[in-house]
Amino acid sequence: MLYEKLLKPYFFKMDPEKAHHLVIDGLAAAGKVPGALGVMNAMYGVNPIPQLSTELFGISFPHPVGLAAGLDKNGKATDGFSSIGFGFMEVGTVTPKGQPGNELPRLFRLPPDQALINRMGFNNEGAAAMENSLKSRKVHRIPIAVNIGKNKVTPNEEAHKDYQSCIQSLYESGDFFVVNISSPNTQGLRDLQHGEELRRLLDTVTEEIRQQAAMRNAKPKPVLVKIAPDMSDEELQQTVATIMVSGVSGIIATNTTLSRDGLVHANKSETGGLSGIPLKTRSTEVIRAVYEQTGGKLPIIGSGGIFTAQDAYDKIRAGASLVEIYTALIYRGPGLLRELTSGLSDCLRRDGYSHIAEAVGADHR
């Protein structure tokens, strides 16, 4: 209520990217004020809900609703986000070296469509800066995933080295890792989703993960691949087949889309990746296709257009074990986390399930 009546109108009068930075900087600053994180957790935190607790990749998640990558690009506000009810979060996308990203303006709201378009271009301060930020975490309430990418100036034939470098720098800092090869805002990046380039990249990543684990005499940390919603059925099948034999731990479906179907706001003509409600149906279709192809044996994190508990539940029934939000947080605020988790519990009771794991992939049975 506080967000939608007071903060959202204020933020929506601002340039979207300025509002973005204000939120991140504000959450980061709050983490340094004694007692502030406790107040935030009391206002927005989600109490333990046993039927929603999830074990995946050997990691415990208090509930299945996380924050997608792109909001906290440098890992500066993890304590704040960990205190407002998320079950996990992704930081990044981070690249080995800091880079400014694409030219401004590059973030656009489409309020009637409940959507955003961004063409940020992996703007971030680099792996070393993120390492410093994550080392200073005070709140370890939820798992943190590090979303990694390549620098804009790195040619695709050298891209695997950038992902390898990120893992080397940040292995200690993340609970699991996400290989981002699906952003539409770095030229040529989506070409890494296919063929020999994908095989080489995933071979390099999984080997580096194994080496980092061996140096610590520990089990390798999980690594997932984030895929685009815009592939043809044949391309998706080929990409998933390559991912399945690579030894990675799972798939995130999906990133933003280039589609503009059904949009009404004038910003629909802006280039970049579209997120929000218009992506909801397609991302669920991709989840369903991936689950069918993998026989449910490769865990999926569902992302794209989740605004209600039923949206999240639809993705879970389609095959997702966890889900992520981003655009809905911008439009609805942090109170949404309690609404989603409470609503998921209601969905389970309605369908006669005692635990969220029983609903994963239920549409296929």
CA dist 326 and 319 (Å) reads 20
- What is the pLDDT averaged over residues 237-250? 95
Q: What tens digit of pLDDT does each residue of 63-99 get? A: 999 999 999 999 999 999 999 999 999 999 999 999 9
pLDDT at 6 over 90: no
CA dist 28 and 13 (Å) reads 22
Spatial CA neighbour of 256 closest among 190, 336, 163, 307: 190
pLDDT tier, 187 (very low <50, low <70, confident <90, very high otherwise): confident
CA angle 212, 218, 219 (to 5 degrees): 90
Spatial CA neighbour of 82 closest among 131, 2, 28, 128: 28
Catalytic residue list contains 183: yes
* Cβ 12 vs Cβ 109: under 8 Å: yes
Start-to-end CA span in the chain (Å) = 39
Tell me the domain boundaries of the chain. Answer: 2-364
* Cβ 193 vs Cβ 200: under 8 Å: no
- What is the pLDDT averaged over residues 206-223? 98
pLDDT at 251 over 80: yes
pLDDT at 1 over 70: no
Q: What tens digit of pLDDT does each residue of 164-176 get? A: 999 999 999 999 9
Other Cβ atoms within 10 Å of 171 Cβ, number: 20
58 secondary structure, DSSP code: T
pLDDT at residue 185, as a whole number: 77
pLDDT at residue 147, as a whole number: 98
Q: What is the DSSP string of 68-133?
A: PTTSSTTS-SHHHHTTTT-SEEEEEEE-SEEE--SPSP-EEEEGGGTEEEE---S-EEEHHHHHHH
pLDDT at 217 over 70: yes
Q: Estimate to the nearest angstrom the gap between the alpha carbon of 363 and the chain centroid.
A: 23
3-state secondary structure of 356: helix
- Compute the radius of gyration of the chain from its Cα atoms: 19
- What is the pLDDT averaged over residues 210-221? 97
Percentage of the chain surpassing pLDDT 70? 100
Instruction: Share the mean pLDDT of the chain.
Output: 96
pLDDT at residue 189, as a whole number: 79
For residue 243, what are its two tokens? 């991912």
- What is the pLDDT averaged over residues 232-241? 94
For residue 29, what are its two tokens? 């600053």
In terms of CATH architecture, what is 2-364?
Alpha-Beta Barrel (3.20)
CA dihedral 175, 181, 185, 188 (to 10 degrees): 150
User: Phi/psi of residue 27, each to 5°?
Assistant: -65, -40
Which of the following is catalytic: 182, 183, 246, 345?
183
Q: What tens digit of pLDDT does each residue of 315-352 get? A: 999 999 999 999 999 999 999 999 999 999 999 999 99
Percentage of the chain surpassing pLDDT 90? 92
